[in-house]
Structure 1
Amino acid sequence: MKITGDWLQAAETQKLFQVFEAEGVQLFFVGGCVRNALIGAAVADLDLCSAATPDEVTRIAGTVGLKVIPTGIEHGTVTVLVQGTPFEITTFRSDVETDGRHATVAFSKDIHEDAARRDFTMNALYADAAGEVIDPLGSGIADALARRLRFVGEPAARIAEDYLRILRYFRFSAWYADPEHGSDPEALAAISEGAEGLGAISRERIGAEMRRLLAAPDPAPALAQMQAAGVLQQVLPGADAKSVAVLVHLEAQSAPEWLTRLVVLGGEDPGSALRLSRAEVKAAEGLTGAMGLTPAEAAYRYGAGVARQAQLALQAVMGQPLPEGLEAQIAAGAEAVFPIRAADLADRFQGPALGQALREREARFIASGFRLSREELL
């Protein structure tokens, strides 16, 4: 079976393959780019692998003047720049020792050993320069085309090697699995058994996986499975997935926002639990605050985008449809401009009294539907 794509036929790609083939070394694309090309999904990350060691990759690239950056040399990865385009090349590996967080690996010459250490069968796929897909395990192509998510080998063993694979399972389920296949009972049983192992994983890594899961077209089924398996409470105590399905339904006419889904998911201190950035925490707090306002006031105070997301979140939590005339209310608030300033009241009020006078008039302005004029407010 063959795959195609602009990224595969690009001059930079073909030049890279030709340079290594001239030295008797074959490169392969691996993982997500092969899987996505196979199933017709967008291709983003371009990862390559080879039997060549990092030193050999560096030497070969250097023979034709290509720049090499040791981006992950301890893991066998270097980045080769071809006319400004970066290509990450990782040496085939086999696991020597794992502890649930990190793996000690050995370089390998065997593509089958490399495939056997990967997480899911649909990710253990390789492609050569012509786009010919190599399936060392013999099940990756069929599973990818069927959108069937399965661990490589025994689920419990794969999870014990790296407990982050629990979250990767749900993330891949949300993005690539066909719900009609249902879930792999053996995988879910192993996940439930190993859920506490996530306590050893850094919150940064957990947060990164949760962001990507929540950004999926419909993360609700995966989140419900996470909750049933005890994983959701492990990574975000107090969270409840039930309202996310309602939110996804309400989002039909708008672009989904992962942060809105997180707010609806709830939980105790998601900022710390998922190591959100300060900007993300501030945005989540603003969204939560806007949920307590009318759509018009929310748009007036926070802007149309926040007001719209806040209303989606509020109605999802309440389990109700969006109100009639919502966009008109948001537009009215977003366009409104409070017509007076502190200087207009400075002759009558000073200090805290001036701030209070401004707030009272602004409240009247909002309550009037933004219709009171400057003269009426003064």
Structure 2
Amino acid sequence: MTKLPEASWTKRADLAQLVAALEPGNARYVGGAVRDTLLGKDIHDIDIATSLLPADVIDRCKEAGIRTVPTGIDHGTVTAILPDGPVEITTLRRDVSTDGRRATVSFATEWKEDASRRDFTINALYAHPETLEISDYFGGVEDLENGRVRFIGDARERIREDHLRILRYFRFQTRFGDAWDEEATVASSELASTLKGLSRERVGWELQNLLGLPDPSPTVFKMRELGVMQEVLPECGTREAEKLAELVRQEREYGIAPDAMRRLAAIIPPVPSLAQAVSARLRLSRAQRERLSCVAERDASDSQQPLALAYYEGVECARDRLLLTRADPGALEDWEAPQLPLKGGEIVERGVGKGPQVARILQMVERRWVDEGFPDRTRVLALLDEELP
């Protein structure tokens, strides 16, 4: 039987206290922590499946002095607040009904029954908290070893239960897959139109998760080939998919970390009004909307004065625009925008009456100061002399 390798998180004292409160026979580590530990990857979240009902989980934790928060109590999830990080504890479940967007569940008592309602075989791995022995009901360990992302049971049925699983499939394939699973791709293509019924927030979140991975460009091409991308982001054509692949190469060349918003800007045409429409449709935050619109203003002239661009638009947007126009963003590394060494009051002291004229002169001096590469105060005062009436 496969065992989970010992890792730093499996030795956490606070986690051992939680398991003891639940009793080891009632708990199993499940999902990403098990999967990623088998792959030798860093662990960010720990989930526990339990045969105990939520009320029992809360009572046992309280007796052990562990605070809990009912983060998803309707679906059986309680979060234990531990010193080294929160842990989600979810009662074993079975689906009663699904409509592709949400599920009605009831509690179960069998581990395999809980596993059968999960999406992919590699996510249905359970590890005993004491022995670290893995319960693998659908061949997930072998799939993980072979780089295969496969739906549990019938792919179409899994997708009909939750349409978002189409996008999750492409994200997990990008992270863990070596070759495309034919049943999964065919089912995703056939049922792509069901994505229209999902909330835009969920779609936007999944797109961001995908685009933030090291190289999502082959996946974006595949999603277009299968007609999936057309359903969630019709603005992404072949040209835009190619732009994403080019951007990934640029990021790697200059040692710049992947960024989902920068990649999203790459797969829509550089039109500010279109960026606003996409932002609204995907329910992006205000900061994300502003960034996407700023990057959509890019043109070939951005590379001529990268520091001026960064001064006016911010380093983040400037870096994005340089990368997307195939320019070197190196000038922006560790650069902080300087402050104009001139105040409006100094212009008033020169005899200019308070009002719009002061702002106009200050703006003209600032523009020339930026164009000249941010010279010192002596030069700024000389520029002021030239702009005074």
Partner of 2:387: none
List alignment gaps of at least 5 residues for structure 2. Answer: 385-389
Change beyond 3 A, Cα 1:365–1:66: closer
For residues 182-205 of structure 1, the C-alpha deviation after alignment (integer angstroms, 9 at most, x for no partner) is x12221221122112112111111
Partner of 2:116: 116
Aligned counterparts of 2:357 and 2:231: Cα–Cα separation in 1: 49
Contact 2:215 2:248 in 1 (8 A): yes
Residues 82-231 of structure 1 correspond to what in structure 2 (within 5 A)? 82=82, 85-129=85-129, 130-137=131-138, 139-178=139-178, 181=179, 183-231=180-228
For residues 225-258 of structure 1, the C-alpha deviation after alignment (integer angstroms, 9 at most, x for no partner) is 2222222222223123221111111111112221
Aligned counterparts of 2:342 and 2:81: Cα–Cα separation in 1: 58
Residues 274-313 of structure 1 correspond to what in structure 2 (within 5 A)? 274-289=282-297, 293=302, 294-313=305-324
Contact 1:111 1:136 in 2 (8 A): no
Aligned counterparts of 1:52 and 1:21: Cα–Cα separation in 2: 10
Change beyond 3 A, Cα 1:350–1:314: farther
Aligned counterparts of 1:377 and 1:237: Cα–Cα separation in 2: 50
Aligned counterparts of 1:281 and 1:16: Cα–Cα separation in 2: 42
Change beyond 3 A, Cα 1:349–1:295: farther
Aligned counterparts of 1:367 and 1:308: Cα–Cα separation in 2: 19
The structure 2 residue matched to 1:21, chosen from 20, 23, 32, is 23
Aligned counterparts of 1:343 and 1:91: Cα–Cα separation in 2: 66
Q: Does 1:362 align with 2:366?
A: yes
Contact 2:18 2:66 in 1 (8 A): no
Q: SS of 1:241's equivalent?
A: helix
List alignment gaps of at least 5 residues for structure 1. Answer: 316-321
How many residues are treated as equivalent by the alignment? 363
Aligned counterparts of 2:356 and 2:83: Cα–Cα separation in 1: 62
Task: Provide the TM-score with structure 1 as the length reference.
Answer: 0.87
Contact 2:14 2:83 in 1 (8 A): yes
Partner of 1:374: 380
Aligned counterparts of 2:56 and 2:344: Cα–Cα separation in 1: 70
Contact 1:101 1:201 in 2 (8 A): yes
Q: Displacement of 1:349 after TM fit?
A: 6.8
Moved more, 187-196 or 339-348: 339-348
Paired amino acid for 1:258: A
Change beyond 3 A, Cα 1:297–1:77: same
Contact 2:33 2:43 in 1 (8 A): yes
Change beyond 3 A, Cα 1:353–1:230: farther
Moved more, 305-314 or 346-355: 346-355
Aligned counterparts of 2:352 and 2:81: Cα–Cα separation in 1: 68
Moved more, 344-353 or 102-111: 344-353
Contact 2:101 2:161 in 1 (8 A): yes
Task: Provide the TM-score with structure 2 as the length reference.
Answer: 0.85
Paired amino acid for 1:300: Y
Aligned counterparts of 1:200 and 1:296: Cα–Cα separation in 2: 44
For residues 249-295 of structure 1, the C-alpha deviation after alignment (integer angstroms, 9 at most, x for no partner) is 11111122211111111164221122111122123233344656331
For residues 115-164 of structure 1, the C-alpha deviation after alignment (integer angstroms, 9 at most, x for no partner) is 11111111011111132211012x10011122211111111111111001
Q: Displacement of 1:352 after TM fit?
A: 4.0
Change beyond 3 A, Cα 1:376–1:191: same
Q: Does 1:233 align with 2:230?
A: yes
Aligned counterparts of 2:355 and 2:334: Cα–Cα separation in 1: 32
Q: Displacement of 1:207 after TM fit?
A: 1.6
For residues 312-369 of structure 1, the C-alpha deviation after alignment (integer angstroms, 9 at most, x for no partner) is 1222xxxxxx34xx534x4798555544443444434764444443333333333334
